[in-house]
Amino acid sequence: MSVNLTVDQKKIQAQAGQTILQAARENYIDIPTLCFHKDLSPTGNCRICMVEVAGQRLLQAACVTPITEGMQVETRSPRVVQSRKLNLELMLANHPQDCLTCDVSGECELQDLAYDYKVNVPAWGAKGTRYLPDSDPNPFIRVDMNRCILCRRCVLACAEIQGRDVWGVAQRGFEEQIVAGAGTTLLEARCESCGQCVAYCPTGALSNKLNYGLARAHQVRKVMTTCAYCGVGCQFDLLVKGNRVIGVSSNPGAPVNGMALCVKGRYGYDYIHHPDRVLTPQVRRYLLEGRQKSRTGSEWDWVKVDWQVALQLTAGKLASTRSSFGADSIGVLTSAKCTNEENYLMNKFARQVIGTNNIDHCARL
C-alpha cells in the first residue's frame, strides 16, 4: 500500500510502514544521519536526523518515525538546521580536538557533518581527555572512548551482525559510556575480534591497531578482492599504500558477506609482507653443481639462483624421471589456496605435459 506525503514541498509516494528517512532517501532527498546504519536497527538516539513534521510540536527523528498519509515534512527548515547544529556542538564539546592526528580523519562521519553544518568546537567544551586512549589490550581493535559519540552502532553491530553481545552501555547522563562486557577487556567479554564494531563506528573511537598511523583514507588505494582463508568467499577491500597491503576494510557491496568479516579475513593479512617470504628461486647445491643427490653438509644448502636456472633444472629432473620410471612415477599436488586458472593449469600440466593422472590436492585433509 502506498502513502502520499510531502517532503520539502515535494510530493512523494512511499510504501506504508516505511520511516520518513527511508521514504526520503528513496526519493533522493538526503537527511543526514549519524547513529543510523541501514544494516542495524534504528534507535533514534543521536538526534541528527531530526525533521519538522506539520502538526507535531517537537521535531521528530526521521529514522524511527513512520510515514502517514498526507504527512508534511521539512528536512532543512531553519528550526531543523538549528537543532542539528546544536546537537553537533554538544557532541564536539565532548570530543577531543585531535582531527589533525586522528587516524580516521577523512572518513569520519562526525567530521563530515561538522563541515557540512559549519559547526566549530565550542569554547565552553570539555577540556582534556576523560578516558585512557588505546584503553584495551585487544591486538586488533584500538579503543579510544574519548572519541565516542555514544551512537551505539558498535553495540548493535556486535549483537545484530556478529551475534556476540560484547559491547554494552553503562552509566547515565554525562557519565554514560560504552563498555565491553561488565567493564572488562574485549577478550574477557568473549570478543571474537571480528572487527564488525570498528567497521560500523562512525568516528575514531574504534579503529584498527595493525594499521594505526600508517595511512589515512585519501592516502590508500582500495582494491576489492576475495578472501583467501575459508570457503565462504567473503569479499573486502585491500588497503594499499605504495606496494604494500596495509589493511583490510569492509566493502558494503560484498555479495556474500556485506560488511561482515571474521578475525582472519579482516586482520590476518600481515603474512603477505612477512620477512620469511620466499622471494628468490633456490635450489640445493648438489643439484646446481650436477652431483648425486646428497642431504649432508653444504651439498644440501640452498643456493639462490635466477628463474631460468631453477626452471631448467626442474624441467630437466622431471623429464629424466619420466624417462627412467614412466609418467606415473611423478605426482602433482595442486592447491586449494590457488586460483581456478592455476588449478586448471596444474591439471593440464600433469595430464598433457607429464602424461599422468597423479594429481590431487588437500580436499580430503
Partner 1 sequence: MAGLTTSFGSGAMSNSMDDIADFARAILVIGSNTTEQHPVFGTMLRRAVRRRGVQLVVADPRRIDLVDFAVLHLQQKPGTDIALVNGLMNIVLEKGWEDRTFIAGRTEGFEDFRETVQRYPPDKVAEITGVPVEQLYRAAEILALQKPMAVIWAMGITQHIVGVHNVMNLANLQMLLGNMGLPGGGVNPLRGQNNVQGACDMGGLPNVYPAYQVVTNPESRRKFETAWGVPLPDKVGLTATEMIPGVLQDKIHALYILGEDPATSDPDSGHVRKCLDGVDFLVLQEIFPSETSQFADVLLPGVTFAEKEGTFTNTERRVQLVRKAIEPLGQAHPDWQIITDLANLMLAAGERQPVDGTHAGWQYQTPANILSEICALTPSYAGISYARLEKGERLQWPVPNSDHPGTPILHINKFARGVGKFAPLEDIPPAEIPDDDYPMLLSTGRVLYHWHGGSMTRRSAGLSAIYNQALVEVNPEDANRLGLKNQDRLRVTSRRGAIEAEAWITDRVPLGVVYANFHFPDSSANELTIAALDPIAKIPEYKVCAVRVELVQSPES
131 binds partner 1 (CB under 8 A): no
Cell of 277: 617470504
Closer CB to partner 1, 64 or 288, in the complex: 288
319 binds partner 1 (CB under 8 A): yes
* Residue 246: its H or E element: strand 244-249
CB of 314 to partner 1, least distance (A): 5
Closer CB to partner 1, 115 or 229, in the complex: 229
Q: Tell me which residue of 113, 49, 103 sits closest to 76, measured CA to CA.
A: 49
Please identify which residue in 40, 65, 280, 298 interacts with partner 1, judged by CB under 8 A. Answer: 280
- Stretch touching partner 1 by CB under 8 A, among 99-107, 119-127, 143-151, 344-352: 344-352
289 binds partner 1 (CB under 8 A): no
316 binds partner 1 (CB under 8 A): yes
175 binds partner 1 (CB under 8 A): no
Q: Which residues contact 220 (CB under 8 A, 6 or more apart)?
A: 239, 240, 241, 246, 247
200 binds partner 1 (CB under 8 A): no
CA neighbours closer than 13 Å in the CB half-sphere of residue 223: 13
CB of 292 to partner 1, least distance (A): 11
CB of 152 to partner 1, least distance (A): 17
Closer CB to partner 1, 109 or 136, in the complex: 136
CB of 296 to partner 1, least distance (A): 13
| Interacting residues with partner 1 between 214 and 253 (CB under 8 A) | 221, 223-235, 238, 240, 243-245, 253
294 binds partner 1 (CB under 8 A): no
355 binds partner 1 (CB under 8 A): yes
Q: Tell me which residue of 98, 24, 115 sits closest to 65, measured CA to CA.
A: 24
| Interacting residues with partner 1 between 135 and 174 (CB under 8 A) | 139-140, 160-163
- Cβ neighbour number for residue 133 with a 10 Å cutoff: 13
Cα separation, 289 vs 291, in Å, equals: 6
The single residue listed with the C-alpha cell 543526514 is: 32
Q: Amino acid identity, residue 104?
A: V
Please identify which residue in 9, 278, 290, 296 interacts with partner 1, judged by CB under 8 A. Answer: 278
CB of 203 to partner 1, least distance (A): 22
Cα separation, 121 vs 239, in Å, equals: 31
Helix (H, G, I), strand (E, B) or coil at 127: coil
347 binds partner 1 (CB under 8 A): yes
37 binds partner 1 (CB under 8 A): no
Give the CA distances from residue 36 to residues 177, 190, 217, 274, in Å, rounded to whole numbers and listed in that order. 18, 26, 22, 39
Q: Amino acid identity, residue 334?
A: T
Q: Tell me which residue of 202, 213, 205, 188 sits closest to 142, measured CA to CA.
A: 205
291 binds partner 1 (CB under 8 A): no
93 binds partner 1 (CB under 8 A): no
At what angle are helices 78-93 and 109-116 packed, to 10 degrees?
130
Q: Tell me which residue of 47, 21, 38 sits closest to 157, measured CA to CA.
A: 38
360 binds partner 1 (CB under 8 A): yes
269 binds partner 1 (CB under 8 A): yes
197 binds partner 1 (CB under 8 A): no
